């Protein structure tokens, strides 16, 4: 082991170096430094295990040095030296995580015994770490291999069921190909801001442990693997003595707990009892059920018993009437018509990907016809990335279709406003909307429309009943809200797209306006 002595008094350093039997203690190297800067250099250069450090030193105290070391070298045990029998120093040192303290002048025997205790603690921590690393390595790789084998087999990439059976035998699990099993497909539908930041490995750990805890006795015969970061599979083997209804009640509890404690909206799809050879087909059927869950409804669904597939009959709304209201500028009526239409379709159980695709085609045809009245070509309407994504994702869920409808209405409204002869305030508004992605100032706006900034501000406030600066913020946040609804872009990217380089400040401004964070706003919208 290596020890570093730090004290601004050379005689103190030399006294400790000469007074301690380092060889007897098993300490190989003793380094020294007379100030914090020199000590940092030694720590950066050498592998230091224990530091004997004076608390009070010029040009940087021992406590400051310790705080620095904790950041990059947390394993170093700091024993603080102080000539002051003042408990406040020692208390602060120990509170920061120091190993111990010695009041100077301390007997050499006391210094040696303190060093021995620090060495024993280091050895204990090293052994514990070795055990943890080894155990984690063995467990991790065994589980990873099982995950890979199950994932390859269930996805159909590995056709040989005997590969699965043989590996299970190495784990002392003997299963016949046609022995009855149940499979549960868990799909994460939505997650809050905190869970969005959780990495894949940790999320897998959380899902598996909560799932197994809730399933109780059922978890004793369970294989669990991740298909991707949103989809997890549980295979229950030797299920003949169990009742599926009882297990489903446990799954209901899991769905509720995931929502309440983990802030995750999940759906569980349960297969009928079947053999290992049929599990890939079961998974395929489950994924079809999941894809048909367009309203993203959480809960437990028994495949083949409770179907969530909607009928595909398409009963088109009155697009001619919608077109009429859009032409005369009654945009809110069109929004209400779409909401009412899908509400009726949902009640009748007629919402599917196919019906959404039919609606999208008819709705876009109407939109493109209206674009023609403004001499705008279709591709010009979808130039921004989030606009294209809103179009592509509109048939994936009902909420995404609403985002497309909102985009179309907003776009047409903008075309109408731009077509009118604009007054100074209207020209200012047009400039703001055109440059909403930039960091806009009132001077920029005034220069563009050839007006005095002060006069423009007074005129804007008078006509809009809102200051020019607040209006800019308001429009930026509206754009952010629309992007949160219609895209899956990260919040940080959205903030940058509307001219906010400081993500924390954007979140603060958004929360002040909408009463919630951007991520919470997106989550609430998706639940609707």
pLDDT per position as a tens digit, 170-216: 777 778 878 788 888 898 888 877 777 777 888 888 888 888 888 77
**Whole-number Å distance between alpha carbons of 336 and 322:** 10
Q: Which residues pair with 233 in a beta bridge?
A: 185, 225
pLDDT at 308: 42
The percentage of the chain sitting over the pLDDT mark of 90, rounded to a whole number, equals 19
Q: What pLDDT band is residue 421 in, cutting at 50, 70 and 90?
A: very low
Helix (H, G, I), strand (E, B) or coil at 349: coil
Residue 369 burial (CB count, 10 A): 12
For tokens 């002595």, the residue is: 5
Mean pLDDT of 314-340: 89
CATH of domain 421-528: 1.10.10.60
Q: Are strands 29-33 and 2-6 parallel, antiparallel or unpaired?
A: parallel
Mean pLDDT of 78-82: 89
Mean pLDDT of 30-47: 93
**Quick one: tokens of 489?**
């872009």
Q: What pLDDT band is residue 419 in, cutting at 50, 70 and 90?
A: low
Mean pLDDT of 349-370: 84
**Whole-number Å distance between alpha carbons of 75 and 78:** 9
Mean predicted lDDT score pLDDT of the chain: 83
As assigned by CATH, the class of the 2-126 domain is: alpha beta
Residues 6+ apart with CB under 8 A from 322: 334, 337, 338, 366
DSSP string across 405-474: HHHHHHHHHHHHHHHSPPPHHHHHHHHHHHTTTS---HHHHHHHTT--HHHHHHHHHHHHSS-HHHHHHH
**Whole-number Å distance between alpha carbons of 354 and 343:** 17
The tens digit of pLDDT for each residue in 454-488 reads: 888 888 888 889 999 999 999 999 999 999 988 88
Q: Where are the domains of the chain?
A: 2-126, 155-302, 311-417, 421-528
Question: Left (φ > 0), alpha (ψ -120 to 50) or beta: where does 423 sit?
Answer: beta
The backbone torsions φ and ψ at residue 29, rounded to the nearest 5 degrees and listed phi first, read -130, 140
The backbone torsions φ and ψ at residue 163, rounded to the nearest 5 degrees and listed phi first, read -60, -45
Domain 2-126 identical in fold to domain 155-302: no
Q: What pLDDT band is residue 6 in, cutting at 50, 70 and 90?
A: very high
**Quick one: tokens of 322?**
């919608």
The tens digit of pLDDT for each residue in 252-276 reads: 888 998 888 888 888 888 888 888 8
Q: Which residues of 8-37 are buried (b: 16+ CB within 10 A; e: fewer)?
A: beeebbebbeeebebeeeebeebbbbbbbe
The percentage of the chain sitting over the pLDDT mark of 70, rounded to a whole number, equals 90
Residue 181 burial (CB count, 10 A): 22
For tokens 């784990």, the residue is: 171
CATH of domain 155-302: 3.30.70.1230
pLDDT at 353: 76
């Amino acid at each position: 082991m290596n020890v570093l002595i730090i004290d601004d008094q050379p005689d103190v350093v030399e006294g400790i170096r000469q007074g301690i039997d380092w060889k007897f203690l098993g300490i190989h190297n003793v380094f020294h430094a007379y100030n914090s800067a020199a000590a940092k250099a030694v720590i950066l250069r050498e592998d230091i295990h224990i530091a004997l450090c004076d608390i009070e030193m010029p040009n940087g105290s021992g406590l400051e040095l310790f705080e620095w070391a904790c950041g990059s070298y947390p394993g170093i045990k700091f024993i603080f030296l102080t000539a002051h029998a003042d408990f406040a120093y020692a208390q602060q040192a120990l509170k920061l995580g120091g190993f111990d303290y010695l009041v100077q002048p301390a007997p050499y025997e006391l210094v040696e015994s303190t060093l021995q205790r620090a060495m024993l603690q280091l050895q204990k921590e090293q052994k514990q770490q070795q055990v943890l690393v080894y155990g984690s390595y063995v467990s991790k790789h065994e589980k990873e291999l099982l995950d890979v084998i199950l994932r390859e087999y269930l996805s159909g990439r590995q056709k040989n069921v005997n590969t699965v059976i043989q590996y299970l035998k190495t784990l002392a699990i003997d299963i016949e190909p046609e022995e009855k099993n149940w499979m549960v497909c868990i799909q994460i539908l939505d997650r809050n801001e905190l869970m969005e930041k959780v990495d894949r490995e940790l999320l897998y750990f959380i899902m598996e442990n909560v799932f197994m805890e809730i399933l109780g006795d059922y978890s004793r015969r369970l294989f669990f693997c991740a298909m991707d970061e949103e989809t997890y599979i549980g295979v229950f083997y030797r299920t003949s003595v169990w009742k599926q209804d009882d297990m489903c009640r446990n799954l209901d509890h899991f769905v509720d707990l995931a929502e309440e404690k983990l802030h995750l909206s999940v759906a569980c799809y349960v297969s009928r009892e079947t053999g290992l050879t049929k599990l890939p087909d079961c998974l395929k059927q489950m994924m079809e059920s999941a894809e048909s869950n367009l309203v993203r409804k959480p809960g437990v669904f028994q495949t083949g018993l409770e179907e969530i597939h909607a009928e595909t009959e398409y009963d088109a709304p009155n697009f001619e009437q919608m077109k009429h209201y859009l032409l005369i500028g009654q945009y809110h009526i069109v929004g209400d018509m779409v909401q009412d239409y899908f509400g009726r379709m949902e009640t009748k159980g007629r919402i599917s990907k196919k019906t959404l695709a039919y609606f999208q085609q008819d709705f876009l045809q109407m939109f493109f016809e209206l674009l023609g009245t403004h001499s705008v070509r279709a591709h010009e309407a979808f130039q921004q990335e989030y606009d294209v994504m809103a179009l592509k994702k509109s048939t994936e869920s009902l909420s995404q279709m609403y985002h497309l409808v909102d985009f179309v209405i907003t776009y047409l409204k903008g075309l109408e406003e731009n077509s009118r002869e604009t007054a100074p305030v209207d020209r200012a508004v047009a400039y703001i909307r055109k440059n909403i992605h930039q960091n806009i100032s009132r001077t920029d706006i005034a220069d563009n429309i050839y007006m005095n900034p002060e006069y423009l501000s007074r005129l804007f406030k008078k006509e809009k009943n809102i200051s020019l600066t607040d209006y800019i913020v308001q429009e930026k946040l509206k754009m952010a809200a629309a992007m949160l609804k219609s895209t899956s872009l990260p919040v940080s990217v959205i903030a940058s797209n509307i001219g906010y380089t400081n993500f924390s400040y954007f979140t603060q401004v958004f929360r002040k306006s909408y009463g919630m964070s951007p991520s919470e706003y997106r989550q609430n919208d998706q639940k609707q």
